[in-house]
Amino acid sequence: MSRLLKRFWPLVLVALLPILSAQAANSGMPKKLVVGLLPGESAPTVMRLNEPLRQHLEKTLGIPVELMVGANYAATSEALRFGRIDIAYLGPITYILQSRKVQLEPFARPTHANVGPTFLASIIVPADSPAKTLKDLKGKEIGFGDPASTSGTWVPRYMLAEQGLISGRDYTLRVLGAHDAVALAVASKKLAAGGISKPVYERLLKEGKIKADSVRILEDSTPIPEYMWTFREGLDPEVKEKIRQAFIGTTDPAALAVFRAQAFIPCVDSDVDRVRTWISVVEKDHPEDAVVNAK
C-alpha cells in the first residue's frame, strides 16, 4: 500500500490542487455575503432587477450571496451601520446622512456612456398640466419618494428651493415612498407634480407601467453623482479587496444592465461633495429633515 501511495501521491496532489486553492482563496471570506438595496420601487421589483448581479457575485466570490431590500432607505443604511449587511448600494443623500454617524467606505459606482458616473432627477407633471416652469407649482401638492431618496426627494426639493419654493410654505409635500408610486400618482392626476429618478421614469415608460401620453417632464436636474457601493465598517481588508475586484473587474452584461452601466469604477467620499452643498440649501429652511432622515 505504501508503494502505491508513493507512486500515485503526485497525481493525487494534482487532482486536489484546484480544491485546495479555492479553499485558500476563500479562507477569509464570510460564509455568506449579504447585499443591501434601497426600496426605490417595490421590493420584488428591486430583487428581480438585481438578480443578475447577485448571480455574478456568487459565481465570482464562490460563496452564497443574499439580497436584502430595506423597508425604507433608512432601514437599509442602518442595517449597514450595525453590520447586518456587508455592502449596500446607497444614493448620495443616504450615504451622506448615514456617514454623519458611522465611518462608511464607498468603493464602486456605475459609469455610463456619454455622461460618466452621473444620473438625473426629474420633476414630472400630468401631460395636460398648464405648468411651464417650476414656479408654476406654487400652491400645489407635489409628491416625493422616500424621505432619504436623492433623486426622489432631496434633489427635487433643492430644484424647487432654487426657484424660491419651500415645502410647507409654497407647496404641500406628499411622501409616497417610492419612484413608481410618484409616477402613478402624477399620471392619474392625484398630484400636480412629483420628483422622480429619470432612469426609473424612463424604464416605467418603456415597460408600460405609465403611459407616455399621461405625463411629461417639467424640468430635469443638474447631473447627480451616481449611487455608491459601500462597505460596512469592520469588514476584513482582504475580503473587501475581493469584493471590490468583483465589481471593478466585471464585464458581465447582465450584471451591468440594470445599472445602465458600461462598467463599475472606483469611488471615494469626495465624489459626492456637491450633494453636500445641495443638502445645505434644503436644510437651511428645514434643518429637522436631515436629522429625521438619518435615523
Q: What per-residue confidence (pLDDT) applies to 290?
A: 55
Contact 195, 151 (CB under 8 A): yes
- 181 CB burial (10 A radius; 0-12, 13-18, 19+): buried
Amino acid at site 54: R
3-class secondary-structure state, position 179: helix
Q: Domains of the chain (ranges plus CATH)? A: 33-117+225-288 (3.40.190.10), 121-222 (3.40.190.10)
Nearest Cα to Cα of residue 279 among 227, 224, 205: 224
Distances (CA, A) of 78 to 85, 95, 204: 9, 11, 29
Q: Buried (b) or exposed (e) across 269-286, using 16+ Cβ within 10 A?
A: eebbeebeebbeebeeee
Beta-sheet pairing, 141-145 with 172-177: parallel
Contact 137, 64 (CB under 8 A): no
Distance of CA 121 to the CA centre of its chain: 13
What would the grid cell of residue 137 be?
A: 407649482
Contact 125, 215 (CB under 8 A): yes
Q: What per-residue confidence (pLDDT) applies to 1?
A: 46
Helices 179-187 + 198-206 axis angle, to 10: 60
Distance CA 168, CA 179 (A): 21
Q: What per-residue confidence (pLDDT) applies to 30?
A: 87
Per-residue pLDDT of the chain (295 residues; tens, 9 = 90+): 455 445 544 444 444 444 444 443 444 788 999 999 999 999 999 999 999 999 999 999 999 999 999 999 999 999 999 999 999 999 999 999 999 988 899 999 999 999 999 999 999 999 999 999 999 999 999 999 999 999 999 999 999 999 999 999 999 999 999 999 999 999 999 999 999 999 999 999 999 999 999 999 999 999 999 999 999 999 999 999 999 999 999 999 999 999 999 999 999 999 999 999 999 999 988 766 654 454 4
Q: What per-residue confidence (pLDDT) applies to 3?
A: 53
